[in-house]
Amino acid sequence: MLGFLIAMLAGFLTPQLEGPVAGPIAKALGGYFAVEPNETRLIAFMAALLAAAVCAALLDSGTVFGVILGAILGYFGTRIYTVFKKIIEGRPNAD
């Protein structure tokens, strides 16, 4: 469960990792092949998922499925929340 929560946090923090983490990685990789500007978010997500997987392995907590699911839910968490909020607000009251 702890691995799932760590991965969810990593997915959620992906946009904030674009500059400080993905930027230097993309710059280092740029010497070997072209890195498109829209790929930096993916590089940040991969770095965050790798860090979450290492933490889950060190803490011996979580399965591969749980870590991946947590990262996906964390990454899309704000969008999922918005969708559910619209669904709930769109329903008529059950009075």
Per-residue pLDDT tens digits for 2-61: 889 999 999 999 999 999 999 999 999 988 999 998 899 999 999 999 999 999 999 988
Q: Please give the pLDDT value at position 61.
A: 85
pTM of this structure: 0.80
pLDDT (0 to 100) of residue 93: 60
Cα gap 18→72, rounded to integer Å: 17
Provide the pLDDT for residue 37.
Answer: 87
Amino acid sitting at position 35? V
CA distance 53 to 43: 15
Residue 43 is which amino acid? I
> How many other CB atoms are found less than 10 A from the CB of residue 55?
18
- Give CA–CA dist 11/78, Å, rounded: 11
Across the chain, how many H-helices and E-strands are there?
Answer: 6, 0
